[in-house]
Amino acid sequence: MLDRRQVYLDNSAATRLDERVLEVMKPYFFDRYAVATSEFAYTQGIEARESLDRARKALAVVLGAAPEEFIFTSGSTESSNIALKGVALALGNKKGKHLIVLKIEDFPVLHSARALEKQGYQVTYLDVDSDGFLDLDKLRESITSETILVSIQHANQEIGTIQDIENIGLICHEKEVLFHSDATHTFPRIPLDVKKIPVDLITVSAHTIHGPKGVGGLYIRKGTMLAKWVDGGFQEFDLRAGMENIPGAVGFAKAVELVTPKETKLLQAMRDRVIDRVLGEIPDTILNGHRQKRLPQNANISFHFIEGESITLHLDIHGFAVSTGSACFSRSLEGSHVIFGIGGDHERAHGSIRFTFGRYNTIEDADAVVNVLAEVVKELRNISPLGKEKEE
Amino acid sequence: MRFPYSETVLEHFRHPRNVGKIENADGKAIEGSPACGDMVSVYINVDPDKKKISDIKFESYGCASNIATGSIITELAKGKTLDEAKKITWKEASEALGGLPKIKAHCSVLAVEGLRSAIENYEERHGLVKERKPTTVETVRKRLRKVMNPLTGLDLVRTNLVRDIKVQNGTVRVVVDLPADNQFASAIKQEIMEKIEPLWDVKEVVVEFTD
């Protein structure tokens, strides 16, 4: 049991690096380790500049953007921090101090908004419906003359619900408010073309697509007012100081190149297998997030009467890695704000399990985890004082 | 497989002892709720002559440490007199399990509470308790000793996080020496409410944070 292969089904937390990504990164650790800032001093610097520019261009193209509209960061946390705080700093005294975010945003957006509130900004936290969707009319009503930024995620990190990004963009465009979207979990599996959809800022990351950890990016539409707030050198068009992570940037570009629609379809088949089988075979379960309009790699299900950490621990003993929205699992000892956001109670949050699939999973993994899960859930329900009323 | 749990914890988590209900139990108690993430039911049968716990069973909705503590507490209590069983502490349960992570203290302390409450329940039903006393600052402080500070695994009173307690006309006001946006503020608040609200003469519990 201890030696069995671990089936990793937590690909929204981190992914296994693809060897092909590592191969293109390697030379930048040993042979071409100079940074692009040295381009006017020596040849290695010029090569570094060229490599960075190539990676930048490759990533910008995928978003339909120009290379100078894309900066590299240390990951999605930094990207979203730059977007929210950068816009707030740039426009706070010029236009107003009001921001709008979604209640179920991931922590980089949510906590950046909270930090700005402490600095005297007002934040509207928009509610979502039971599937996790934003109400477009509510958004429209919430935008005031003071509003400087709307930040609505492309898809949710936990329940996978994909927002109607196009219409959100149109509303913001019409109201002349900047629009940021955290696309950490959709890029590049779900196309987002800034030529077609009016988004001004987009957060992306390599860690969700078998790229290296510690590298992400931010798309910034040309002309967007954004203040630099990590000071240092003049890297990244003087918007983000700090040594360029060239191996990371090159690896990120390769990781994006390797994502194919065919692969995404396979992930979707695994997702559907888990959802259909669990809901069909295990009683007292409920799907979190919309059944169709959801991330192709994400299944999230709540199991009534039992707690998520116990489920994950049992699954781990059987060789499966998944995550849960339970309070016991979180660092703050609070249940998932996303499950609460869609109207779920504590029990639904504590009993929620997220399965996220990646390149190294198979449909057999999906079947295997459901088989084990059926047993684990039965055992834990046997111990639980909840849900026994029916039998009595 | 490397967990923040000892082998004994894992053993009790995977194969909990004395699971289930006792029909028409002599004493029973439920501690916690789905809201706080953990819940334990404890059932005891008591030998009326020797005042000894003759049978004990538990059920748990919760994480591994909750399940494991529930299991070990039934083993520790079985065969003990009520007075002996009442004195079993969280520390003893934790030691019997080979230690528990600090952050998990609050989930596992419930089982110990459950056992004590089941005994109290037995005593109440069998006329062994003195009359109800009104809630005082001391009663509240005593209960707050069971609310764990997740940072240290120690209770709020011992870690000097309780700045003030006021009891007036059924309203209990507790001031916690933490900023309201502390990582654990919300979880601590909830636990305080759950510990104080059941007191028979308490109508309202107000938890405030310092900033």
ipTM of this model? 0.83
Q: How close does chain B come to A28, measured CA to CA in Å?
A: 34
The reported pLDDT for the residue numbered A332 is: 65
Give tens-digit pLDDT for B83-104: 999 999 988 999 999 988 877 7
Chain A residues with beta carbon closer than 8 angstroms to that of B150: 333
The pTM score is 0.88
Nearest to B63 among A309, A317, A384 (CB): A309
Q: Could you give the angle at which helices B185-196 and B137-144 cross, rounded to 10 degrees?
A: 130
Residue from A114, A310, A315 to probe the interface with B (highest B Cβ count within 10 Å): A310
Amino acid identity at A141:
E
Q: How close does chain A come to B33, measured CA to CA in Å?
A: 9
Q: How close does chain A come to B75, measured CA to CA in Å?
A: 16
* Cβ–Cβ pairs < 8 A, chains A and B: 83
CB atoms within 10 A of CB B132: 9
CA B86/CA B116 separation, integer angstroms = 5
State percent of chain B over pLDDT 70.
Answer: 96
Category of A344 on φ-ψ map: left (φ > 0), alpha (ψ -120 to 50) or beta: beta
CA A149/CA B149 separation, integer angstroms = 38
C-alpha dist (Å) from residue A252 to A17, A201, A325, B74: 11, 18, 29, 54
The reported pLDDT for the residue numbered A1 is: 42
Among residues 100-139 of chain B, which lie with CB inside 8 Å of chain A?
103-104, 106-107
Average pLDDT over residues B111-140: 85
Bond into A188 cis (ω within 30): yes
In sequence order, the 6+-apart residues with CB closer than 8 A to the CB of B192 are: B144, B147, B156, B174, B176, B205, B207
Q: Is A172 annotated in the active site?
A: no
The reported pLDDT for the residue numbered B145 is: 84
Tell me the two tokens of residue B41. Answer: 């039911």
pLDDT tens for the 392 residues of chain A, in order: 444 578 999 999 999 999 999 999 999 999 999 988 888 888 888 999 999 999 999 999 999 999 999 999 999 999 999 999 999 999 999 999 999 999 999 999 999 999 999 999 999 999 999 999 999 999 999 999 999 999 999 999 999 999 999 999 999 999 999 999 999 999 999 999 999 999 999 999 999 999 999 999 999 999 999 999 889 999 999 999 999 999 999 999 999 999 999 999 999 999 999 999 999 999 999 999 999 999 999 999 999 999 999 999 999 999 999 999 887 666 666 789 999 999 998 899 999 999 999 999 999 999 999 999 999 999 999 999 998 754 44
A341, A104 contact by CB (below 8 A) = yes
Nearest to B13 among A313, A326, A334 (CB): A313
Tell me the two tokens of residue A159. Answer: 């329940």
Query: pLDDT higher for B179 or A300?
Result: A300
Confidence of residue B158 (pLDDT cuts 50, 70, 90): confident
Confidence of residue B36 (pLDDT cuts 50, 70, 90): low
Residue of A nearest to B188 (CA): A333
Q: Is the pLDDT of residue B51 over 50?
A: yes
State percent of chain B over pLDDT 90.
Answer: 48
Q: Is B63 annotated in the active site?
A: no
| Domain B7-125 listed as CATH 2.40.30.40 | no
Residue of B nearest to A325 (CA): B37
The reported pLDDT for the residue numbered B2 is: 57
Query: Closest Cα to residue B93, out of A249, B85, A259?
Result: B85
Q: Which of the four CATH numbers 3.30.2130.30, 3.30.300.130, 3.50.50.60, 2.60.40.740 does domain B137-209 have? A: 3.30.300.130
Average pLDDT over residues B189-198: 84
Among residues 52-91 of chain B, which lie with CB inside 8 Å of chain A?
59-64, 66-67
- Please state the domain extents for chain B: 7-125, 137-209
Question: What's the topology of domain A32-258?
Answer: Aspartate Aminotransferase; domain 2 (3.40.640)
CB atoms within 10 A of CB B14: 15
CB contact (8 A) between residue A332 and residue B187: yes
What is the architecture, at CATH level 2, of domain A7-15+260-391? Alpha-Beta Complex (3.90)
Give per-residue burial for A165-177: e unless 16+ CB within 10 Å, then b.
beebbebbeebeb
Q: Is the pLDDT of residue B107 over 50?
A: yes
- Please state the domain extents for chain A: 7-15+260-391, 32-258
Chain B residues with beta carbon closer than 8 angstroms to that of A306: 61
The reported pLDDT for the residue numbered B181 is: 85
Q: How close does chain A come to B91, measured CA to CA in Å?
A: 20
CA A15/CA A341 separation, integer angstroms = 27
